[in-house]
Amino acid sequence: VQLVQSGAEVKKPGSSVKVSCKASGGTFNIYTFNWARQAPGQGLEWIGSIIPLLDTPSITQKFEGRVTITADKSTTTAYMEMNSLKSEDTATYFCSAGGWSDYWGQGTLVTVSS
């Protein structure tokens, strides 16, 4: 399975960003797609996940109401959208797939700055 994420983004505070994660190989519908982020110099933080077949996302409480996770079975692409961006959301956002996050995308740097 290969995961290719969308490119780096620069956003203004209060705006939204949508990061994509295109999967190839494997069976898209049954994989768990996880989203995590890593602020500069910091550790990994799990954001949420989705199994395309079930189409029911799980999002950690910290991001509930601000993050939407979706999956498009027709294009084998998972998405993570975050709104009301703040400077503290500046981070590299990773998608991963598999029962144990076996496969990882290359990461997408999102910079939030006025």
Partner 1 sequence: DIQMTQSPSSLSASVGDRVTITCRASQGIGNYLAWYQQRPGKVPKLLIYAASTLQSGVPSRFSGSGSETDFTLTISSLQPEDVATYYCQRFNSVPFTFGPGTKVDLK
Residue of 11, 26, 46, 68 that binds partner 1 (CB under 8 A): 46
Region of 41 on the Ramachandran plot (φ > 0 left; ψ -120 to 50 alpha; else beta):
left
108 contributes a contact to partner 1 by CB under 8 A: no
Distance CA 112, CA 34 (A): 22
Tokens of 38: 């890593």
104 contributes a contact to partner 1 by CB under 8 A: yes
Instruction: Give the nearer residue to partner 1 in terms of CB position, either 58 or 81.
Output: 58
Residue of 15, 27, 29, 60 that binds partner 1 (CB under 8 A): 60
* SS3 label, residue 22: strand
Distance CA 9, CA 56 (A): 27
2 contributes a contact to partner 1 by CB under 8 A: no
Instruction: Give the nearer residue to partner 1 in terms of CB position, either 77 or 92.
Output: 92
Residue of 19, 36, 110, 112 that binds partner 1 (CB under 8 A): 36
Stretch that binds partner 1, among 11-19, 44-52, 66-74, 75-83 (CB under 8 A): 44-52
33 contributes a contact to partner 1 by CB under 8 A: no
- Phi/psi for 6 (5° steps) reads -70, 170
The single residue listed with the structure tokens 């590299």 is: 92
